[in-house]
DNA sequence: CGATATGTTGATGTAATTCAACCGCAGTGG
DNA sequence: CCACTGCGGTTGAATTACATCAACATATCG
């Protein structure tokens, strides 16, 4: 029913780079598709732990994740870090750099990954010719804004267990959109990285996961997660709202 | 030296609507400027407390704030709210709606305000013709992403007083960019609204402000703020980083 | 003017952090 | 081969920063 999730990496999200299907599901005819495909080059492989770009790097391209898993994080002066997102196959990464022609966060591969590079000025050129591509680019940018604002809501008003439940349900949904099982998947990140994303210490993440497990809502073994009760997870968001 | 800050509203940021100067400081010749100006209609006046748009409203236009002050906020199912931003004259509001053709937050006037409406599809049309306008629109979208991610850092890793100091310094900088005093201005929002933005209860906001005042870094009387020691405020960000 | 909003401050409670001990595992090297 | 080490993860105990509850003060507005 679902594609199996392989141990070490997600399947390619796309054919050439398949921006049509997932990254850019845009109404284009075959000639236009070809023009879009011609923009895009296979950037190559990033081993687990390697850096796609660093804060301060010159911005020149967006990246479409073909296979694998990334995290993005910002660091401030005094060394604090905040994971700003986890990106999986089929998602676009690098939007932060457009503003100042320099990236403002680091992008790190959490497993061996393949990305396609989309030179941004060429994408702008083409999107001036193809209104539906233009519109789609705007949606991608706006979607990131909406997504970030929902994380702000999470960070500003949810308790630890609610944050975890929200996080797991979000991952579940995205795996489902990628064609994988929504109830059984591998976490690609450490407890520390989850905590950085959710504004919690790693011990708190561990405790909250243990508690969800004790409540029979999930089953965890190392990094493999099984969601036992989707509605229970949903229900625990909003409990004891403040 | 600085324009005085009037009691009830900021001065217009612009001439017709002055997207050139602040909202869209774009390199355009006079013909192109006129074409841009022709897109933009004076939307009119919003009294304090009135709603520019609500979550769920159909998205059709961006808004450039000509005078006044807004907040944007999202509400989730169980009634929690999160202020996602405070916008002042010269800033663009409504980017959240592009993604799904519907707004995802409420925009509320915190004082009597004037906005100009920029029909989005027409802006897209024109930006296909004018590369520098296109580039600028992309920067505006990306800037919002970067801004939101910095709020994520604040919400995820800063203590109450650091959040307040960061917030006040940000306001200060934006007032300075608008030509007003960076050290003396009126807060347009309640303690509750500040707290909603910073992920704190209003009592905590009040206490943190009192403490900054006791430390001689600021002087507050009701909503009028004076920053007594800019560097001291900066220094208190990062103290006892966790 | 009184009524309602907003803001301050104190006392108390609590969720999350901090600190620490411990386990299992993978990689390393004697 | 097995001790040694480092890393990721779990769990317990003590601490703390913030929330909550409550009383009161001040400002705003019809």
Residues with CB under 7 A from strand D: A 190-192, 202-203, 205-207, 209-210, 220, 222-223, 242; B 159-161, 199-201, 203-204, 222, 240
Radius of gyration of chain A (CA): 18
> Selecting from 1.10.10.10, 3.90.226.10, 3.30.2350.10, 1.10.150.530, what CATH number does the domain B159-235 have?
1.10.10.10
pTM: 0.92
Kindly tell me if the per-residue pLDDT of B10 is higher than 50.
no
User: pLDDT category, B18, cuts 50, 70, 90?
Assistant: low
Kindly tell me if the per-residue pLDDT of A68 is higher than 60.
yes
How far B82 CA lies from chain A's nearest CA (Å)?
5
Residue with tokens 């000509």: B66
Of all nucleotides in the shown strands, which has a C1' nearest the CA of B158?
Answer: D17
Of A80-84, A86-90, A225-229, B74-78, least confident by mean pLDDT is B74-78
**Over residues B77-96, mean pLDDT:** 94
Q: Which residues from chain A sit within 8 angstroms of residue B149, using beta carbons?
A: 74, 82, 84, 96, 104-105, 148
Joined tokens for residue B165: 């100091």
Enumerate the domain spans of chain A: 14-153, 159-235
Q: CA B176 → CA B5, B8, B14, B91, B114, distances in Å?
A: 11, 18, 16, 14, 20
| Residue in A with minimal Cα distance to B143 | A99
The pLDDT value given to residue A202 = 98
User: pLDDT category, B68, cuts 50, 70, 90?
Assistant: very high
User: pLDDT category, B28, cuts 50, 70, 90?
Assistant: confident
Chosen from A146, A169, A238 to mutate, greatest number of chain B CBs within 10 A: A146
**Over residues A161-187, mean pLDDT:** 96
Axis-axis angle for helices A131-157, B191-198 (nearest 10): 110
CA B220 from chain centre, in angstroms, equals 21
Question: What is the average pLDDT value for chain B, to the nearest integer?
Answer: 90
**Over residues A135-149, mean pLDDT:** 97
**Over residues A94-106, mean pLDDT:** 98
Its sign, for the CA torsion A46, A48, A54, A55, is positive
CA angle A233, A218, A189 (to 5 degrees): 100
N- to C-terminal Cα separation, chain A: 40
CB atoms near residue A44 (< 10 Å): 10
**Over residues A127-153, mean pLDDT:** 97
**Over residues B9-28, mean pLDDT:** 54
Q: Which residues from chain B sit within 8 angstroms of residue A97, using beta carbons?
A: 142
Q: Which residue has the higher pLDDT, B158 or A25?
A: B158
Distance between CA atoms of residues A56 and B111, nearest Å: 38
DSSP assignment string, A111-135: SSEEEEEEEHHHHHHHHHH-HHHHH
Question: pLDDT over 90 for what percent of chain A?
Answer: 77
Residue with tokens 């073909």: A66
CA angle A129, A130, A135 (to 5 degrees): 125
Residue with tokens 């939007």: A95
Residue with tokens 């590369």: B131
Q: CA B8 → CA A109, B2, B224, distances in Å?
A: 50, 17, 12
User: pLDDT category, A107, cuts 50, 70, 90?
Assistant: very high
- For domain B14-153, say whether CATH 3.40.50.850 is its number: no
The pLDDT value given to residue A223 = 94
């Amino acid at each position: 029913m679902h594609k199996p999730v392989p141990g070490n990496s997600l399947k390619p999200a796309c054919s050439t780079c398949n921006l049509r299907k997932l990254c850019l599901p845009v109404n284009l005819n075959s000639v236009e598709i070809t023009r879009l495909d011609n923009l895009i080059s296979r950037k190559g492989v990033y081993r687990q732990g390697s850096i796609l770009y660093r804060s301060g790097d010159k911005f020149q391209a967006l990246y479409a994740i073909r296979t694998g898993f990334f995290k993005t994080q910002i660091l401030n002066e005094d060394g604090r870090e905040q994971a700003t997102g986890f990106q999986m196959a089929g998602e676009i990464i690098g939007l932060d750099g457009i503003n100042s022609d320099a990236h403002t966060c680091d992008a790190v591969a959490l497993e061996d990954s393949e990305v396609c590079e989309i030179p941004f000025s060429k994408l702008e050129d083409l999107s001036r010719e193809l209104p539906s591509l233009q519109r789609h680019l705007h949606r991608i940018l706006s979607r990131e804004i909406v997504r970030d604002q929902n994380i702000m809501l999470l960070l500003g008003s949810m308790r630890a267990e609610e944050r975890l439940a929200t996080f797991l349900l979000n991952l579940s949904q995205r795996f489902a959109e990628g064609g994988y099982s929504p109830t059984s998947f591998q976490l690609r990140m450490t407890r520390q990285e989850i905590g950085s994303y959710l504004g919690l210490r790693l011990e708190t993440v561990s405790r909250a996961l243990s508690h969800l497990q004790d409540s029979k809502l999930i089953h965890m073994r190392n990094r493999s997660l099984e969601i036992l009760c989707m509605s229970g997870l949903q229900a625990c968001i909003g409990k004891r709202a403040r």
